[in-house]
């Protein structure tokens, strides 16, 4: 993990390491408050402001992404590999999905139109299985 911080030119403070590990190990795309609660269990003196500040640093360094979801607070994703998201419009659940077809579309945009694709995140909205069940 130290290599990730060095590559991002961030000092690997205890707070950053704990927060990054928590974010990286989760797949539920938590909001900052959920991350704060989890980190606070290990580091009781951490502040919510510190969590927000470091999440923004992680995004700037390419270590995480911020998912701005309409009508709710930002969600955070520690998975920086190319993937896409399913968003439930009822419960707010966010989950990852992978699509070779969408990835190829991004690659073809770059080749066909001379456009430099720097990132691609397709967000599909609908109802998750739990919310569809009457």
Chain segment 29-67, per-residue pLDDT in tens: 999 999 999 999 999 999 999 999 999 999 999 999 999
Does residue 111 register a pLDDT over 70? no
List pLDDT tens digits, range 81-101: 889 999 998 888 899 999 888
* All domains in the chain, ordered by first residue: 2-77 (1.10.10.10), 84-132 (3.30.1490.190)
Q: Is 70 exposed, middle or buried (0-12, 13-18, 19+ CB in 10 A)?
A: exposed
- Residue 63 burial (CB < 10 Å; 0-12/13-18/19+)? buried
C-beta of residue 20 within 8 angstroms of C-beta of residue 78? yes
Q: Strand order of the sheet with strand 84-88?
A: 94-97, 84-88, 123-126
- Output the pTM of the full model: 0.83
* pLDDT on residue 10: 85
Six-digit token string for 104: 């190829």
* Residue 9 pLDDT: 79
Burial call 33-47: b when 16+ CB within 10 Å, e when fewer: ebbbebbeeeeeebe
């Amino acid at each position: 993990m130290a290599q990730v911080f060095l590559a991002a030119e961030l000092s690997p403070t205890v707070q950053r390491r704990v927060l990054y590990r928590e974010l990286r190990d989760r797949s539920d795309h938590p909001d900052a408050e959920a991350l704060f609660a989890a980190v606070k269990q290990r580091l009781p003196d951490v502040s919510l402001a510190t969590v927000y500040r470091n999440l923004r640093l992680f995004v700037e360094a390419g270590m995480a992404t911020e998912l701005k979801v309409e009508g709710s607070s930002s969600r955070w994703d520690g998975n920086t590999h190319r993937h896409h998201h399913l968003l439930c419009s009822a419960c707010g659940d966010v989950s990852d999905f992978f699509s070779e077809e969408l990835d190829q579309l991004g690659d073809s945009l770059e080749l066909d139109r001379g456009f430099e694709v720097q990132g691609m995140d397709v967000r599909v909205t609908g109802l998750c299985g739990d919310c569809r069940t009457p």
